[in-house]
Amino acid sequence: MAQRYGGKFSPDGDSDASVPQQERPAYKGAQVTPTGARSNVMFVPGIVLAFMSINDGALGLATGLLGSGVLIAGAWLLREGMKAQAAYDARRVARRPGFPRKTLAAALCGIGTGIAAWISEPGLIAPVIFGGAATALHLGAFGLDPMKDKGMEGIDTFQQDRVAKVVEEAETYLSGMRDAVRRAGDRSVEARVERFVTKAQDMIRTVEEDPRDLPAARKFLGVYLMGARDAAVKFADIYDRKPDRAAKSDFMMLLTDLEESFDKKTDKLLLDSNADLAIEIDVLRDRLQREGVHLDRG
């Protein structure tokens, strides 16, 4: 009976047989895209308005295109606002978005709707009514932008700004790795890179939640990720020209080594944070005891 070929270098195989596959589920760290049908459908009114204005003469066409542009700009801002809120919600420590994209998107939706209403019913009453209703419905459907910082109490804002710069650079390197391996067109390599990206993001979240870990993690989030990005680019260049098993194996082993290093460093950062907390608790206990307050250690 014929049997399906499988092995180290098969299309669905893993060239790094030494890596335990059950260590982390494939879906670990997977995220649903924050922009879906709800935001995409907001582009439809602008497109429809543009097509309906074609036969309305020069003034009608110009007005329709203006309203269409405003509606499409609002839909685009809505998408960006939903991405920003998703990033805000995913973090335990985060600053509110500096630019209220969703709120401005609601205003643009109202303005665009008002322009469309004016085309069919010139005057002031109809545009105001329809524009106000559209703005209110938009806010009801998509809500406002986050209005305050989250988990920032007691955190040095200057240090947090330094962390934000390093994190932005690290995310750029991870995005570059993803883009590079897509050119190689190998699904197993793409899945392996995604697993490493998840490990790197674990460290990023750890540093974001405690900026004091930045000096210890800076080399990992800067030099190491830049090297990983460069290695991914070189691998993609080689593999895109001609599939090379040796190049794939070497790249997979590099990812394994990096993943282990990031794992160990993240665990160490967490242990250091726990040790700092234990020291602070002991100091607080001593101070309370000097004040005559005795706490039950049981």
CB 136 within 8 A of CB 77: no
Count of C-beta atoms within a 10 Å radius of residue 172: 12
* 241 HSE (CA, 13 A, CB side): 6
Q: Say which residue, 252 or 217, is predicted with more confidence.
A: 252
CB 152 within 8 A of CB 93: yes
pLDDT, tens only, 15-51: 444 444 444 554 455 555 666 778 889 999 999 999 9
Count of C-beta atoms within a 10 Å radius of residue 60: 15
Tokens representing residue 208 in the block:
């974001």
Question: Could you give the percent of the chain with pLDDT greater than 90?
Answer: 23
pLDDT, tens only, 180-213: 898 888 888 899 899 999 888 888 888 877 777 7
What are the DSSP E strand ranges found in the chain?
none
Cβ-Cβ contacts under 8 Å for 42 (sequence gap 6 or more): 71, 74, 75, 78, 109
Of 183, 276, 158, 290, nearest to 233 by C-alpha is 183
Count of C-beta atoms within a 10 Å radius of residue 144: 12
Distance of CA 28 to the CA centre of its chain: 15
User: Sorting pLDDT into bands at 50, 70 and 90, what band is 294?
Assistant: low
pLDDT, tens only, 42-94: 999 999 999 998 888 888 899 999 999 999 999 999 999 998 888 777 766 66
d(CA 189, CA 232): 10
